[in-house]
Amino acid sequence: EPEVTQTPSHQVTQMGQEVILRCVPISNHLYFYWYRQILGQKVEFLVSFYNNEISEKSEIFDDQFSVERPDGSNFTLKIRSTKLEDSAMYFCASILLRSSYNEQFFGPGTRLTVL
């Protein structure tokens, strides 16, 4: 069964450093998403991406964040200057078409720890 993959599984960084989290969505999917989940809290939507541009973003997704689909397979989330409060699990998700948009396929997540 096709699945969303994410790398690395765990990333440790120093405050102020840039990090890039990588995702490979399911190959024929068209819509891509990033979510985060701070330990013990809700899963929060960050951004959606379609046709090589951002479709929607939440208030969390400020200027420190950016997304990119650099090639036909990868989908990345960059945090320019990490803060302690960026420590969280980051999940990538994808869907095929708008008709199935509620059935998002999530990756296993990257645990980001900012020291």
Partner 1 sequence: LAKTTQPISMDSYEGQEVNITCSHNNIATNDYITWYQQFPSQGPRFIIQGYKTKVTNEVASLFIPADRKSSTLSLPRVSLSDTAVYYCLVGDMGGGGADGLTFGKGTHLIIQP
Contact residues for partner 1, defined by CB under 8 A: 4, 30-31, 33, 35, 42-48, 50, 55-56, 58, 89, 91, 93, 95, 97-99, 101-109, 111
Nearer to partner 1, 33 or 82 (CB): 33
Shortest gap between Cβ of 12 and partner 1 (angstroms)?
Answer: 16
Considering the complex, state which of residue 32 and residue 82 has its C-beta at the smaller distance from partner 1: 32
Q: How far apart are CA 13 and CA 50, in angstroms?
A: 29
Work out whether strand 5-7 and strand 19-24 pair parallel, antiparallel, or are unpaired: antiparallel
CA torsion, points 30, 102, 111, 72, in degrees to nearest 10?
A: 0
